[in-house]
Structure 1
């Protein structure tokens, strides 16, 4: 008995040492890498003979504590080792049956999947369901009531009169036409009136035909065009048949009447204010000093002033505008006051 125990004590360290020199499980035969980590996390290197030797640290101990090369679970969540896979050896039909039993059968109530023992009965085909006429009737009623509703709204809305005045239309309701933007709320102006009122132009777009030098207009001054010089009076010769001693009669002097003065272009009056007018243009000044005097006078009247520059005939000019005004009434009052102050050429813009 003592001999057996002595042999076990002698051989056991060798067996333990030999067991520690091999991986816990051998890698597959087609494993291509030269390094392998077993399930215990110990690192092994492939030797020249094809076996596996443990990797040792500098102090001679084995290198362990790394994640295994072959994980216990594969990419699909199942075990990569057949011995550890609970579904090993089971067919797909068995797996589907088990899934149905777990997900469907457990939630069923008694008699839920039982079929009706009565035979199927064929019912007659009643055709499509009839459409309800309610939406079409509502639409027809709305279309029929639209003209009367529009007329009632146009007559009841008194603020439209103010809107018509601001837009330049008459405040009386008229017949709605295809070219009427107010749809009958305001009586439209005739085309001749619209063409006469379309005098506003953007800043800097003065016609090139105005190449003549603009006159300097100060407060209270009006520009008068110089009268053309009359043509020279032609002398009337006496007839050749007259005798030498006979004194010829003196012809009556011919008088040349001066050409009538061209009337200056009249600016729109207070009743001809365009729809989009918000300012009153006082005038255009070529002399900056006259512009300064006019600006000071308009500012003294309490009106906001807007100054701009333009170029006419190669020379820079300044124009003054009072405003903006909120409504047509304000434009009319400002235009009347500015014209009474001496700026008779002021016009709405």
Structure 2
């Protein structure tokens, strides 16, 4: 159901925009719009389950060019260029919906969306997870004798072995997995595009152990657990995927890491192995090859190797 403005009763522009996104993108862009709403002075509004929805109570039709320019200036100060541009992109799309609803005059809309993108570059956040850390994570799952240990091992092995996004893992159904070949059909990924990936042998072994617990009935590949270790029939959430990794990292005694760090590790490893960018792009579901290229660390390795040829004489000081 589309949220409506409490005063006018009309559909809210933010709700219309978010409704057309995939669940993973919807969460990200809702947070971006909440950031804009907060900067515009909109008070926090939360649902009964604690979700911040102030963006659904924002008068987007009242936003003008002066607002967007001021917003951009604040975003430049507070965020990395990529984050600032993501927030600005969400703002432009919501203003487009406000224009379509007749809330924002055409001339004002054209001015408001003219706000320029933020220039600049920063080193990517996150990190690559080392092979020893991956082994420690999966060892922590193996040391857990409960069914949760088998489920969590399969979740982590799947992310590590396929580079799936956490929302894609949560949305995966058993019917999408071909057990004989390891082929996975990822439906409705980012951009609402389907793609095929293949699980390596270690991931397939972890999935087989998990399916021995879960069973082979149709439905969600990964299901929630009640206290005491009993499983429900409901699928896990994207947030639960992140929590699984957080908890197992603590048990394994390794630094904190995220599902996207796993994805980053998968991409980096393929590129380091010489797999061409186009193939990696298709495997991970990036819309642009430039996004995949941003994970490429081979250039850094080459620079590190190059400086080995620079000779700097050094003499230990006399005692």
Provide the TM-score with structure 1 as the length reference.
0.20
Larger Rg: 1
| Structure number with higher strand proportion | 1
TM-score when normalising by structure 2: 0.21
Greater relative contact order, per chain length (Cα 8 Å cut-off, separation 6+): 2
Q: Which structure shows the bigger proportion of residues in helix conformation?
A: 2
